[in-house]
């Protein structure tokens, strides 16, 4: 049983504007430490999997940055999409490459822009998930919720899998009863109290042949395109076929396109210090705040304020005085200021810049 991590490094990262730009989305930012989130994602994989078994899927605009940041990754392990088509085609493409290499290969699909506080616990969970996936299940890692979060999707947990003897200290798999969209505060509170729901981490583990079979059942059009790519893979005509066929794939997430329609979804409840680092308001989850709850980065200062996120990369001092629960970010050529409770709405600022034709800050 060999695990092939596939790091999904697409996406525009608009929720971290003005730090994130089209050419440098969220996964290329050092939000949780000194290294970009993408680098942290790959660094935490060994000894479960080394660079030779790890793939990164990205767009053309970011391929050069990926290769620069991850020089130990073989060139053929960077899968460059000619156009963005969401995660279902991304998963299918990676599965084709792994299946050609290893007919029994198991993929671990990992977002490039998440933070993991306890990497060793993640590796234990991935290994346990791979053992379940070997039997034909599509396995997701569900995070044990700690608060009534309205920004995450949830999984309702069903009965345990009868997948062999349970070992003490090892995570155990359950069937997924259903996927649940992001709830309002009342429902999120109810989910937390019930103990029957987990956060959907977006981390999936499955055999390459099994996921391609599920794509065939749930998404015939995507399967048709993948079969055309698979027939050309490894031949001189593959680049030409790939450039023509991949843009014809439907743009849909693996969650909506396949996982929510499958009757073989399993989940392993986990606690490995997970955060999707979904907005500036999430930075206190991945960076230690000061005694007043402020997260401060760069040439920034908070005076007489609490619970702020203040980031300065503009080459000048950024001072927040007498304010609480504010996000203030100076990227040098653009500044963002908003209430922390509205940090999920930063895309509105990006949309406004687009309408105004301010391409230089996008």
pLDDT tens string 204-254: 999 999 999 999 999 999 999 999 999 999 999 999 999 999 999 999 999
Which own/partner pairs from 74-78 qualify as long-range (CB within 8 Å, at least 24 positions apart)? Answer: 77/51, 77/52
Say what the pLDDT of residue 172 is: 80
What's the CA gap between 35 and 20, in Å, rounded?
15
Say what the pLDDT of residue 12 is: 75
pLDDT 10s digits, 47-80: 999 999 999 999 999 999 999 999 999 999 999 9
CB 313 within 8 Å of CB 298: yes
What percent of the chain is predicted at pLDDT more than 90?
A: 93
- Strands 115-116, 265-270: pairing is unpaired
Could you tell me the CA-to-CA distances from 239 to 63, 232, 244 in Å, in that order? 16, 9, 9
pLDDT 10s digits, 333-344: 999 999 999 999
Taking residues 350-355, report their average pLDDT: 96
Say what the pLDDT of residue 165 is: 45
Hey, which residues does 310 pair with through a beta bridge? 296, 328
Taking residues 5-10, report their average pLDDT: 96
Domain residue ranges of the chain, discontinuous segments joined by +: 3-275, 280-361
Say what the pLDDT of residue 116 is: 97
The DSSP secondary-structure symbol of 264 reads -
Q: How confident is the model at residue 11 (pLDDT cuts 50, 70, 90)?
A: confident
Say what the pLDDT of residue 1 is: 83
What ranges in the chain are assigned the alpha helix state H? 37-43, 63-69, 87-101, 119-133, 185-194, 208-218, 220-232, 238-245, 254-257, 283-286, 347-355
Say what the pLDDT of residue 164 is: 47
Say what the pLDDT of residue 163 is: 52
- Strands 138-143, 300-303: pairing is unpaired
Say what the pLDDT of residue 310 is: 98
pLDDT 10s digits, 101-132: 999 999 999 999 999 999 999 999 999 999 99
What is the pTM (predicted TM-score) of this model?
0.92
Say what the pLDDT of residue 171 is: 62
3-275 fold: Spore Coat Polysaccharide Biosynthesis Protein SpsA; Chain A (3.90.550)
Say what the pLDDT of residue 167 is: 52
> What is the CB neighbour count within 10 angstroms for residue 97?
23
Say what the pLDDT of residue 211 is: 98
pLDDT 10s digits, 141-188: 999 999 999 889 999 999 988 654 455 555 689 999 999 989 999 999
> Cβ neighbours of residue 30 under 8 Å, at least 6 residues apart?
36, 37
């Amino acid at each position: 049983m060999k695990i092939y991590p596939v790091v999904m490094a697409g996406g525009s990262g608009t929720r971290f504007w003005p730090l994130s730009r089209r050419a440098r989305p969220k996964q290329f930012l050092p939000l949780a430490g000194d290294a970009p989130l993408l680098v942290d994602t790959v660094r935490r994989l060994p000894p479960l999997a080394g660079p030779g078994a790890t793939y990164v899927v990205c767009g053309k605009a970011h391929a050069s940055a990926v290769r620069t940041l991850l020089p130990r990754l073989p060139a053929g392990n960077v899968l460059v999409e000619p156009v963005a088509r969401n995660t279902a085609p991304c998963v299918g493409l990676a599965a084709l490459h792994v299946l050609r290499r290893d007919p029994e290969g198991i993929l671990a699909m990992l977002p490039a822009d998440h933070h993991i506080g306890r990497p060793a616990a993640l590796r234990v969970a991935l290994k346990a998930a791979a053992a379940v996936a070997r039997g034909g299940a599509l396995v997701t890692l569900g995070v044990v919720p700690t608060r009534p979060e309205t920004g995450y999707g949830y999984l309702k947990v069903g009965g345990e899998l009868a997948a062999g003897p349970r070992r003490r200290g090892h995570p155990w798999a359950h069937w997924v009863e259903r996927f649940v969209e992001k709830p309002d505060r009342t429902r999120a509170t109810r989910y937390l109290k019930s103990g029957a729901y987990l956060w959907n981490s977006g981390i999936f583990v499955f055999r390459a042949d099994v996921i391609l079979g599920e794509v065939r059942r749930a998404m015939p059009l995507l399967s048709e395109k993948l079969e055309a790519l698979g027939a050309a893979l490894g031949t001189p005509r593959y680049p030409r076929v790939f450039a023509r066929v991949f843009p014809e794939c439907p743009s849909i997430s693996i969650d909506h396109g396949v996982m929510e329609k499958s009757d073989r979804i399993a989940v392993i409840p986990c606690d490995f210090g997970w955060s999707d680092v979904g907005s500036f308001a999430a930075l206190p989850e991945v960076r230690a705040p000061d005694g007043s709850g402020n997260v401060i980065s760069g040439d920034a200062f908070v005076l007489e304020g609490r619970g702020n996120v203040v980031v300065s990369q503009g080459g000048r001092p950024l001072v927040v005085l007498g304010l609480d629960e504010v996000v203030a970010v100076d990227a040098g050529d653009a500044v963002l200021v908003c209430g922390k409770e509205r940090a999920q709405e930063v895309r509105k600022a990006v949309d406004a810049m687009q309408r105004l034709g301010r391409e230089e800050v996008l």
